[in-house]
């Protein structure tokens, strides 16, 4: 039975239900909007390569989840689903990340018909060996283009420094070599293992009837409730990085670097959301664009406006990163660690802490105006076990001591690894 939850504090509400087949369904009403969006996501991504089929553990090549995403638009006896959706005026796309694959569309007309098609092609795999071979060549070209990207190179260089075994260290799309081992049987096996309703989320945002959305989901999707395959990400990782530094030379206009620190295992529930906000606040106060450190580094030419930071939680692990263009990344990292030590010792500037919390609160409220943001964040929250619509309450619960505690625990020199991409010498 659909249930309505209202969040008067932020002026939002959502209809939601876990269907008998296990699908998590969310409908966010936006009365008066002409555009509506559907977002159909599976809790399966590039890092989910080793799993138990029920008949034993299997290891699959790097890149299967991404390959599967490409092939799911094929429909037996009909044109490609992407073409059909486009012909109806819908804007459709899909993506694969380390831990999620999602298929989505926006449309102003024929929404119910488009939703039915979306649910059908994602839940009904159809592959031929001929079509798989053709797609292999397309994906190989995509991989080669990404391999030539310096930002990608520096990022995966860092992850290989941080982690010894976790598959997060490998590109989501795999390599040209790894995708040679992907065939139709592997794709069917992985679809069967993970594309089960209990491992999926459907989010609809717009001026749509929740009961009709539910009816479509019940009619189209399988009615069985089966768990997804159990996954294995390898042995537990040690606290320190596997290697301290990685470097390569590429065609770049200026050297770039990315530094990172492991922040433990990935978290679930409300703890996951609070950790994300605590970490983001800590990094913003430490080295965000309004921080004293950022301004000092910028004025001294050690960084430029490409400098930024992030916090990631995926595939059983979490880690923070920061970096950008710099000719002296070691000095930047040293200054970051020194500033963290100062904040731990002397405490945070109360005014800066309040300003950053207000900025985070405002950013979250603005995010509710973006259909893309609402759909994605609801899906992530559903998979991680927390309520996205309570994010503002979690932000307010973060204290300055939480931030200092994060800095003290993780901003330590022995935990830091650096990846860099330098100019090719002529």
Among residues 69, 106, 135, 237, which one is catalytic? 69
For the chain, the 3-state helix, strand and coil shares in percent, each to the nearest 5, are: 45, 20, 35
Is 69 annotated in the active site? Answer: yes
**Residues making up the chain, counted from first to last:** 426
- What are 146's two structure tokens? 């990404």
CA distances from 375 to 14, 21, 38, 368, 388 (A): 12, 21, 8, 10, 10
- Token representation of residue 238: 């040690």
Q: Tokens 């926006």 belong to which residue?
A: 106
Neighbours of 349 (CB within 10 A): 15
In which element (H, E) is residue 353 found? helix 350-367
**Strand 230-231 relative to strand 50-52, pairing:** antiparallel
Angle between the 350-367 and 371-384 helix axes, to the nearest 10 degrees?
100
CA angle 393, 399, 402 (to 5 degrees): 115
DSSP states of 218-241 as a string? Answer: HHHS-----PPPEE---SPPPSS-
Q: CA dihedral in degrees (315, 393, 374, 305; nearest 10)?
A: -70
Find, among 154, 170, 152, the residue nearest to 329 by Cα: 154
Token pair of 223 as six digits: 């009615």
Task: Compute the Cα dihedral for 273, 278, 284, 286 and give only its sign.
Answer: negative
Tokens matching residue 358 = 């207000």
Closest CA to 169 of 361, 11, 314, 386: 314
Q: What are the two backbone dihedrals, phi and then psi, of residue 130, each rounded to the nearest 5 degrees? A: -65, -45
Cα diameter, the chain: 68
End-to-end CA distance of the chain: 68
Backbone angles phi, psi at 67, to 5 degrees: -60, -45
Contact between residue 392 and residue 365 where contact means Cβ atoms under 8 Å apart: yes
By annotation, the residues acting in catalysis are 69
């Amino acid at each position: 039975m659909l249930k309505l939850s209202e969040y008067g504090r932020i002026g939002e509400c959502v209809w939601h239900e876990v269907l008998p087949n296990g699908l998590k369904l969310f409908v966010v009403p936006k009365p008066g909007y002409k555009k509506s969006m559907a977002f159909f996501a599976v809790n399966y991504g590039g890092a989910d390569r080793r799993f138990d089929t029920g008949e034993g553990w299997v290891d699959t090549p790097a890149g299967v989840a991404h390959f599967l995403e490409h092939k799911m638009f094929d429909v037996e006896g009909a044109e490609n689903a992407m073409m059909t959706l486009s012909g109806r005026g819908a804007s459709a796309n899909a993506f694969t990340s380390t831990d999620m694959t999602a298929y989505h569309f926006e449309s102003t007309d024929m929404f119910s018909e488009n939703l039915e098609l979306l649910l059908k092609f994602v839940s009904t795999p159809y592959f031929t060996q001929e079509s798989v071979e053709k797609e292999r060549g397309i994906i190989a070209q995509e991989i080669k283009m990404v391999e030539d990207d310096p930002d990608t190179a520096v990022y995966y260089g860092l992850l290989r420094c941080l982690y010894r075994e976790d598959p997060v260290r490998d590109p989501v799309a795999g390599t040209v070599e790894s995708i040679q081992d992907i065939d139709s049987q592997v794709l069917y096996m992985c679809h069967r293992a993970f594309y089960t309703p209990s491992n999926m989320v459907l989010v609809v945002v717009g001026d749509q009837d929740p009961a009709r959305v539910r009816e479509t989901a019940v009619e189209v999707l399988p009615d069985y409730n089966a768990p997804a395959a159990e996954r294995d990400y390898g042995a537990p990782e040690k606290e320190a990085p596997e290697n301290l530094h990685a470097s390569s030379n590429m065609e770049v206009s200026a050297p770039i670097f990315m530094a990172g620190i492991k922040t433990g295992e990935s978290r679930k529930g409300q703890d996951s959301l609070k950790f994300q906000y605590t970490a983001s606040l800590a990094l913003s106060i430490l080295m965000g664009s309004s921080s004293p450190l950022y301004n000092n580094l910028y004025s001294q030419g050690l960084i430029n406006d490409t400098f930024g930071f992030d916090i990631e939680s995926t595939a059983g692990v979490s880690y923070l990163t920061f970096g950008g263009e710099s000719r002296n990344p070691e000095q930047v990292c040293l200054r970051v660690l020194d500033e963290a030590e100062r904040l731990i010792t002397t405490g945070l500037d109360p005014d800066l802490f309040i300003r950053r919390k207000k900025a985070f609160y405002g950013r979250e409220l603005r995010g509710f105006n973006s259909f893309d943001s609402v759909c994605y964040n609801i899906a992530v929250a559903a998979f991680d076990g927390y309520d996205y619509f309570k994010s503002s309450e979690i932000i307010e619960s973060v204290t300055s001591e939480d931030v200092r505690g994060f800095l003290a625990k993780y901003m330590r020199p022995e935990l830091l690894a650096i990846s860099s991409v330098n100019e090719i010498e002529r």
